[in-house]
Amino acid sequence: MKKCLLLILALSCCGCSVPSFWLFDLNREASITDGEKGAAYAARDSAVKPDQSGLPLIEPDDRTVETGRVPSEVLWTQETPAIEENPELSRETAEDIALLETVPVFEQAEGRTVVSNEVVFDFPVVENDRVRYFIDLYSGSARVTFKRWLERSGRYLPVMREIFSQYDLPLDLAYLSMIESGFTDRAYSWAHAAGPWQFIESTGRVYGLHVDWWLDERRDPEKATHAAARFLTDMYEFFDGDWYLAVASYNAGMGKIQRAIEMYDSRDFWEISRGKYLQEETKHYLPKFLAALTIAKQPEKYGFTDLDYHEPLKYDVVEVPTATDLELAAELCGVSYEEIKRLNPELKRWSTPPSVHNHSLRLPLGSSERFLEKYLRIPVAERARYKRHEVVAGDTLLKLAKRHGIQVDDIVRLNKVSDPRALKIGSTLILPLRQGYTSRPLDELEDDYVRSYRRTYTVREGDSLWKISRKFEVSEKQLRVWNKLGWSNLLRPGQKLVVSAAGAKSARSSRQAAKRLVYEVKSGDTLWDIGQRYNVGTREIMNWNNLDHDHVLRPGDSLTLMIVPGQSG
């Protein structure tokens, strides 16, 4: 699901000879050159996550072998392990995640592929065994969850289709968001992809989506759809007008699909997906989309006769010149705080970003005049009720209270301070700047992403830790630690292993600064070995060091690596 583009440029820092590394921050598409995009696409593969089914992979039974197809009911269950691992997940959310990440296990050919002529599509739709598998799944055992996705589509599809029309893209391509996120703007994968189009932060940055502590534009349905449209257009042009390859590359990365084409000497998606090179998730990504599109365009045919589509997304937009409390905006509009948050999913906290002037705030349709009439009469200092303050050496509650003209007791109550005399340097305090404050900021110090759970794998006959580590692009040491295996190499068929790292706890915890490390190549080293040792991708190493695909490492060579502290395997 994840789009990962990373541009890392060596720059001379303050005249020093030691290069620093800069994440190329591109906020407008116009500033992106063809060369920069090419470098980004080449780097994207290294950070693309492996396929990530949240459900155990199911071995086909004798009936499957005989028929050549895996019945959908074998692979779908409403028993969602996410709830056990994270009690805060609702049943609905857990079912969404499980269906989004379901990856069936079958390597046989897809059977006869035929063009679907039953309904008018503006995207090339075909049917075969792989597509029909997901049609059966979505309209069968998983129909309750898929019905929810269809109903949610009513809220987002009109604006997504309108945006795609501006880029001359097939309007049916908007349904790709359905299999990315189930049309959920708060969706957040363990690989750190977010929003309805599931952008990784680095890719989103290339396509103009800003992310910081206050907001995440990957969650904005309009901005993210514009980014997805530009991204899909680039993929379509790169693959010379082949939409199947473009859609597959949205999932796996342009470089991965291009290498599959070269490896199998074919540009036929169905042909290159028969081999073992592509991840299972990528092999089934296009069939999932075709199945979802087929049902969505004619739901009655597949038994969805009682759909209650959500109302289309409609709103007014006003520009607020300074930081504005969302509770204040809700009061002025006469609606709930939750309604303002629902219209502005990119806002992660309780107010518009303090550093952004003239932020575009969405309000309920027809409420902008009433809002502005009252808002403009409110002094600037009172438009934001709260200030986020990071404690530094020398801070005391009394000093902070005097500096901002507030009461010590208010700071204590708002932040639930247990010992007013012992403030921890680096901790965050919320300061109430006007009367009538609530505990809302404290409630929203942690973000509200809906995270997917860690992936598991069911051990098969003949599996080893080495084979499983290669399959999921992790190290054997990581598998031992995650599964508490110690130094045992004993695996049992049917045993379940955790094969992915835990998702980030919050946006703050995932933004550690990378440090430059120079590694001297030793005899027998390969890029894959080095990557596993430091938990980075081989493609990243190649791009950091300008290496060709067929580069041969020699003992004594120096490689530059960008390592996040604590991430080495």
Q: Nearest-CA neighbor of 210 among 225, 224, 229, 231?
A: 224
Which of residues 105 and 531 earns the better pLDDT score?
531
Distance CA 165, CA 169 (A): 6
Neighbouring residues of 420: CB distance < 8 A, sequence distance ≥ 6: 397, 408, 412
Mean pLDDT of 269-291: 92
- Strand spans (E) along 199-304: 199-200
Distance CA 325, CA 381 (A): 11
Say what the alpha-carbon torsion angle 393, 397, 402, 404 is, to the nearest 10 degrees: 80
Question: Is residue 440 scored above 60 in pLDDT?
Answer: yes
Output the CA–CA distances (angstroms, integers) from residue 193 to 189, 339, 348, 448, in the order listed: 5, 25, 15, 14
Please confirm, yes or no, whether 110 is among the known catalytic residues. no
The pLDDT of residue 208: 94
Among 28-42, 105-119, 148-162, which range has the highest average pLDDT? 148-162
In the block, tokens 């493609």 appear at 539
Give the end-to-end CA distance of the chain in Å, rounded to a whole number: 24
Q: Nearest-CA neighbor of 316 among 374, 364, 372?
A: 364
Contact 290, 126 (CB under 8 A): yes
Which of residues 545 and 352 earns the better pLDDT score?
352
CB atoms within 10 A of CB 110: 22
111 band by pLDDT with thresholds 50, 70 and 90: low
Distance CA 182, CA 148 (A): 8
Residue 459, Cα to own-chain centre: how many angstroms? Answer: 27
Give me the percent of the chain exceeding a pLDDT of 70.
72
3-state secondary structure 512-539: CCCEEEEEECCCCCCHHHHHHHHCCCHH
Total-model pTM? 0.66
The pLDDT of residue 192: 78
Bridge partners (DSSP) of residue 319 are: 360
Q: Which candidate in 95, 110, 127, 180 is catalytic? A: 180
